[in-house]
Structures are given as structure tokens and as C-alpha cells.
Amino acid sequence: MRKVGIVGIGHTVFGNLSEFDLVDIMSFASADALDDAGIRKERKIVDQVFVANVGAGMLNHQTAIASSLVSRIDLEPAMAETVENGPASGASALKCGYTAIAAGLADVVMVTGGEVMRAVTGWKATDFVATLLHPEAEYNYGLTLPAFAAMFTRLYMERYGLTEEELAMVAVKDHDNGIKNPYAHVPYTCTLEGIYGSSDAQVVNNLIADPLRLYNMCPVSDGAASLILCALDSAKMKHFKKKPPVVIRGIGAATDTHCIHHREDPLELKAVRLSAERAYKMAGLGPKDISFAELHDAFVILELAISEEVGFFKKGKSRDAVVQGLTRIGGKLPINTSGGLKAKGHPLGATGVSQVFELVKQLRGEAEEGRQVGNPIHGMAVNFGGFGNNVVTTICSKE
Amino acid sequence: MIDTNVVDFEKYRPARLEVYAYKCPECGTLHYPAPMICKDCSARRDPSGVLFSSWEKVPLGGKCTLLSWTRVYALPEGFDARYLLFGIVEFENGLRASGRLLVEEPKIGMKLVSKVGVVREKIGEDVYGFMFDRS
């Protein structure tokens, strides 16, 4: 199989960008990636474009956005397709790009993910995300993703003794990282006292889905991110001399039951474990080899649960790592150096691409002051779709 | 003016208030909601009953145990309430389901009984589903 490198990266700020056009936002991130790769003038060497998006049809009344994006940045006649895989769309689009190159269908691929969710009210956005649940057995009831995350958290607390204070500590850590990330949607710090146990916390950190509070979940965000991939054995690599490529060393994906109640153990995130095992196998690596990770913390409980499923910590023990500071920047295994979905934000289609953007920044040594991990070799990103029913894990390494 | 003597009101009566599990005709496994292939014996279901035999609809409900629950304050569009409670339960036959919870102070492991009621109001259509209450 051909080796694939990431040779260009681009990103918009995440936040409320609802006054902008979705394809403009994605085009901006894509142009950033072309510039970073140094091929804006030679951009026609891009053979194929994969666009990750979930809600254009429902939220923005736009369809066929891959064709639109290609035209907006003058990339015709590149092949172009849109990939929709719920919140895991970004990493799925990257997987499609990797596969296209590995199979010899393309040498240079652009992967761009983007979303404009704040074009609609919070009620509508919540309803939109809930449509990924089972229509008859879940969605019809008014169940939402926060509702399932809350029931997951309650069970986790019951089984492993996790406390609300420990959950709040994950959020504090993520915001400490997010404030140093120029792309973050919520670029400010929060103190533990401010969000847990104080009278202020009762007001600021209100219940959303008991036991989950505002600071236990990510914001609804707009934004885009983009990557340029190239086959390392391709003659076209001569165009990418600006920066050394970051190698995609492993990609794994897996699915689990659509209905959450079908899972024998509701606390087992089987698709996370399997996708990670597949990525490790392809990369020839294991959990101990990973220098840092971006884990899909749409709800902070997921940062803990995913870190256990991918083998970083034993079941129920990730909270000890948080308390001991092991997952902070400067700790033994930094997690969500970007601020994670919690602080950076979560524009669905952009998230998986943005996670790998962060892996590349860290592996290049280009993270902003105070965010750079010391000499990382291998980074892992877990992009979590549905409530764990479709998960993609990517491992990137220094060449 | 409608002649009420000739209107067949039975025709307009709402469907029986039940939620159904589907029984595989080959191996007898109960499924909720209905799949297209039986996970145990791989038999196919055909909703039209033309190509493959229909699966028997078996009313699902009765006594159950609460596995987890939440009280949601941020509800999606279409729900006009300060909060709603939701739970996942396990019935005595081992099947599990999600639904609305009618108990104000739930506890994991508590015994409940299912009812069927309107869980979502749409224009021109009420959607029925599980509601779990104290047994």
C-alpha cells in the first residue's frame, strides 16, 4: 500500500459564523491548506476532493457542496464527492482520501470539512443532531445526544464512582488548552470553583441533562478545516518542499448498534475500541507509543471513556489521570491539546478534520506558545459518530 | 353537515395503544425495534409479507427495571416543557427500550411498569410510545 503524507493544513476560527456562507467558510480553510502546502498557483495538481458535511441540506438549504467548493476555489476538473457520516464525517472523509491515494486513484487529495449550524435556533440545532438517533425507538421521544450522554454518565458514575468535581476538572483542563488556541470557539479559562460547588456555579453551570451541566458539553459551532494529502512515492511530492510531510500511519473505523439499548453493556464503546485496535494494527503501534491524542469530547465524559477504550488507561481509571494532571500539556499523555470539542467547538463535519489538523500542528512543532507537546512522535485522533455507533481513529506520525 | 349516523367513527379511532416487538418466524427471537435480518438466525423480514413470511407483532411492555435515566432541560424543537425525564429499561423478557419516564425521583434499578401514551405531538399526528411509571 502507498504511504500517504499530510502536506498542507488549513483552519477557520470556530464559533458563530452564521452570517457567512457555508461554502465560503470551507473555501477559506481550503485556500489556507493550499497556501500552507505552497501550491495555490499549482492547485490543479489536486486530483480529488472529499468534503465532510452533515447539515447543509437540513440547515443551510444547500446540496452538492463538494461540486460547489471545487468551483469556488477553482479546482475543476478535480474529482469531488461529499462524505456524510454524522459527527465522524471529517475522519471518514480523510479515510476516503487516504484510500483513494493508497489505491492509486489519486496522487494529491484535498479533504475539507465544514458546518454552519448556528444558522438555526438552538432548538432546531438540537433536533437536527438528534435525527441521527433511531427514528422510531429514540428520536420520536424527544431523546437527544445530551440525553444519552447523560444516561451514560450516570451509569459510569454509579459503576466507577466518578464525581461531578472530576468531570468539571476535565472541562477546566480543556479550557486551559483552548484559550491558547486561536481557532477556539470558547477561548477563555474557567476555574474549578467557578463551575463546581460554588453558588456562582449553580448559576453559570446550569443543568442541561442531569447529571450533565453546561460545562460538561461542547458548544454548537460553525467552522471549517482542511488537509492536503499526497502519496509519498508520487512525483508530485516535488511541489511540497515547504514543510516535511506528516505520515498517516494508521486508520481504523468500526460501527456499533444504532439503538443504544441494544448494547449488552451500555458503558462499552465497542466501536471506539475496535477502530483503535484496527488503527494500531495498521500502524504497528500500541497505546504506549502514542505521544498525545485528540479525543472526541462532545461531552467531557467521552474524553474519559474513549481514553479507556483505546487502551490509555484501565476502565474507570482515567479520572485518576485527570486528577494527577497526566492528560494536561506537559503531562505524560496530553489529551485534547487543542481544547477539544469542549473549548475549541464542534462544527460536525469539520471536527474530524480539525482533530487531524491539530495532530499535524503538534507533530510539526507548530502549536502556539504554551500548547506545544514536547517532541511528539505519534498522535492519535478519535472521531466519534452518533453515540458511538460509527467511530474513526487516525494515527499520524513524524516521517 | 356531516350525518353522524353514517360516519364510521371506528375507522377514525386511534390505533391500539401498544408498542410491538417483532418475532422471528424461524428462531422465535424477539426484536425491538424491527430489524430486516434476524441477528440470531439471519432470517429475513419482509414488511409487505410478499417475498418472505411476515413476522408476528408481539405487544411489548409490562414490568421492567430502570437501567439509567436523565432529566433533560434543553429539549429539541417540538417539545414545550420545562423538562422531560427519559430512561432506558429492561423488560422481564430481556428486551430493552428507551422512553419517557413518569417518575420524578428515579433511581437506577427501580421497578417500573410501561404504559403507552403520546410522546410527540405533530401537526395532524400524535406519536405514541413508551412511558415508564412506578409499578
Q: Which chain B residues contact residue A208 at CB under 8 A?
A: 72-74
Give the whole-number percent of chain A exceeding pLDDT 70.
100
Does A215 reach chain B within 8 Å, measured CB to CB? no
In a domain, B1, yes or no: no
| Region A349-376 average pLDDT | 97
- Are B67 and B55 contained in the same domain? no
Q: Which chain A residues contact residue B69 at CB under 8 A?
A: 151, 154
Does B61 reach chain A within 8 Å, measured CB to CB? no
- Are B88 and B65 contained in the same domain? yes
- Are B38 and B101 contained in the same domain? no
| Region B54-75 average pLDDT | 95
pLDDT tens for A310-360 read 999 999 999 999 999 999 999 999 999 999 999 999 999 999 999 999 999
In a domain, A87, yes or no: yes
- What cell was used for A283? 500502524
Give the best residue of B70, B89, B100 to mutate against chain A (max A CB count within 10 A). Answer: B70
In a domain, B6, yes or no: no
- Are B65 and B130 contained in the same domain? yes
Please give the pLDDT value at position B124: 81
pLDDT at A88 over 80: yes
* Distance (Å, whole) CA A263 – CA B60: 18
Q: Which chain A residues contact residue B75 at CB under 8 A?
A: 123, 126, 142, 144
Please give the pLDDT value at position B53: 74
- Are B56 and B72 contained in the same domain? no
In a domain, B49, yes or no: yes
Taking CB atoms and an 8 Å limit, are B68 and A209 in contact across chains?
A: no
- Are B87 and B109 contained in the same domain? yes
* Complex ipTM over 0.85: yes
CATH number of domain containing B77 = 2.40.50
In a domain, B40, yes or no: yes
CB A324 within 8 A of CB A362: no
Residue A238, Ramachandran bin (φ over 0: left; ψ between -120 and 50: alpha; else beta):
alpha
Query: Domain residues for B122?
Result: 61-134
Give CA A269 to chain center in angstroms.
Answer: 17
Please give the pLDDT value at position A396: 98
Share of chain B residues as helix, strand and coil, in percent rounded to the nearest 5: 5, 45, 55
Minimal Cβ distance to A147: which of B72, B119, B130: B72
Does B87 reach chain A within 8 Å, measured CB to CB? yes
In a domain, A262, yes or no: no
- The answer for residues whose C-beta is within 8 angstroms of residue B65's C-beta and 6 or more apart is B89, B90, B109, B110, B111, B112
| Region A133-162 average pLDDT | 97
In a domain, A94, yes or no: yes
Q: What is the pTM of this model?
A: 0.95
pLDDT at B7 over 90: no
- Rounded to a whole number of angstroms, the distance from the CA of B79 to the nearest CA of chain A is 7
- Tell me which residue of A203, A251, A318 sits closest to A6, measured CA to CA: A251
- Are B95 and B121 contained in the same domain? yes
- Rounded to a whole number of angstroms, the distance from the CA of A349 to the nearest CA of chain B is 21
Please give the pLDDT value at position B51: 79
* Distance (Å, whole) CA A370 – CA A364: 15
Domain total of chain A: 1
Query: For residue A80, what is the enclosing H or E element?
Result: strand A79-83
Give the residue from chain B lying closest to A148, CA to CA. B70
Long-range CB pairs of A59-65, under 8 A, 24+ apart, other chains included: A59/A116, A59/A117, A59/A119, A59/A120, A59/A124, A59/A125, A59/A128, A60/A22, A60/A116, A60/A119, A62/A22, A62/A23, A65/A22, A65/A23, A65/A26
**Residue A315 has what DSSP assignment?**
T
- Rounded to a whole number of angstroms, the distance from the CA of B4 to the nearest CA of chain A is 34
Query: Domain residues for A76?
Result: 4-121+220-239
- Are B22 and B86 contained in the same domain? no
Weakest mean pLDDT among A65-79, B11-25, B77-91:
B11-25
Does B110 reach chain A within 8 Å, measured CB to CB? no
CB pairs under 8 A between A and B: 100
In a domain, A20, yes or no: yes
CATH number of domain containing A73 = 3.40.47.10
- Are B79 and B40 contained in the same domain? no
| Region A270-276 average pLDDT | 98
- Are B29 and B44 contained in the same domain? yes
* Distance (Å, whole) CA B112 – CA B133: 5
> A192 exposed, middle or buried (CB, 10 Å; 0-12, 13-18, 19+)?
middle
In a domain, B10, yes or no: no
Domain total of chain B: 2
Does A207 reach chain B within 8 Å, measured CB to CB? yes
| Region A4-9 average pLDDT | 98
Taking CB atoms and an 8 Å limit, are A136 and B33 in contact across chains?
A: yes
Q: Beta strand A292-295 with A390-398: parallel, antiparallel or unpaired?
A: unpaired
pLDDT at B5 over 90: no
DSSP structure string for A6-63 = EEEEEEPPPB--TTS-HHHHHHHHHHHHHHHHT-STTGGG--EEEEE-SSIIIII---
Using DSSP, how many helices (H) and how many strands (E) does chain A show? Answer: 13, 11
In a domain, A320, yes or no: no
pLDDT tens for A169-222 read 999 999 999 999 999 999 999 999 999 999 999 899 999 999 999 999 999 999
